Structure 1
Amino acid sequence: MLILLDIDGVMVPTTSWKPTEILSDGFANFSIKAVNTLQTIINSTGANILLTTSHKSRYSNSEWEKIFKTRGIIANIDSLEPNNDNLNRKEEILHWFTKTTILESFVILDDDKSLNGLPELIKNKTIITSGTVGLISEQAEVAIDILRKKESISA
């Protein structure tokens, strides 16, 4: 099982009126609600994380695992390839799907509304969060249900 995960607007709510807290590792702190929700999803499904965030190339996967662990999330983490072509999130995810045969269930957690334009088979496995609120507990059950439904997607 795989969680395609954005960070800004999912793990870190983005607000103009409240500055983002940066921890000693140089990265933003995660919302406690988002941490608890993501860990619930991981604990219930055993899912791994594939980072889709624009920050994905800032750190190695092992460094990301430490960053997540510092914030209370234990997970195996991988990242999409660097976005050297400056694709938008929707295009980047579609590009990844064309190069990858998905043999496991997946869910996409993102605040990017352009993902509503994904093909139905992928869009149906996408949870769009409110960027100012982030991932919330009510979305955990939906994500778990999506992950437990096994359908393979290949391009």
Structure 2
Amino acid sequence: MKNVIILDLDGVLITTPTWKADEMDFDGYSVFNKKCVENFNKLTEDLECELWLSSTRRMNKTLQEFREIFINRNIKTEIKGFLPNGDYQISRRKEIEAFLSHEPINNFLILDDDSSLHNLDEKYKKYWVQTSLLVGFNSEKLKQAQEIIETLWKD
């Protein structure tokens, strides 16, 4: 059994408004919100977990490229993989439900701003921390994520 964090990027670690072009970092990839990265690192600091990327941005880069991007942005947890079936035709909700129903996962957390997740199956929905595009993974969302881990995760 394993612990998993399913991570979106836009609205979680990237908080650029949709009407603005992303600001690029030194490596040519979008700037991440430093405070959101700091909060994410606080969350994962003493947490044994796998990180799975759900962002549609996963369709434009390889796993190794994302690992380097995360290192460049000082994210301490390495990405284990991408949610399978990355397809613009499939909703994020369906991708997440399929992933969770086919993987041997003990505990999980979903960090995402996608409103389609309001329709998640109830057994999954309580593990979702809904962020917002312009705010991202702020201290309030960090606290919510920590509460889910403390109350719902099993040893």
Shorter-chain TM-score range: 0.7 to 0.9
2:30 corresponds, among 28, 53, 71, to 28
1:4 paired with 2:1, answer: no
User: What is residue 86 of structure 1 aligned with on the other side?
Assistant: 89
User: What is residue 125 of structure 2 aligned with on the other side?
Assistant: 123
3-state SS, counterpart of residue 49 of structure 1: strand
Gaps of 5+ in 1: none
3-state SS, counterpart of residue 55 of structure 1: helix
- Using the size of structure 2 for normalisation, the TM-score is 0.86
- Number of aligned residues: 151
3-state SS, counterpart of residue 66 of structure 1: helix
3-state SS, counterpart of residue 2 of structure 1: strand
For 2:30, give the aligned amino acid. Answer: A
Cα pair distance change 1:70/1:108, threshold 3 Å: same
User: What is residue 136 of structure 1 aligned with on the other side?
Assistant: 138
User: What is residue 47 of structure 2 aligned with on the other side?
Assistant: 45
Residues 6 and 51 in structure 1, CA contact (< 8 A), matched pair in contact too: yes
* Residue identity (%): 30
Task: Report the Cα offset of residue 40 of structure 1.
Answer: 0.5
User: What is residue 15 of structure 1 aligned with on the other side?
Assistant: 17
Q: Which deviates further from its counterpart, 43-52 or 111-120?
A: 43-52
Rounded to whole Å, the distance in 1 between the matches of 2:75 and 2:21 is 22
User: What is residue 106 of structure 1 aligned with on the other side?
Assistant: 108
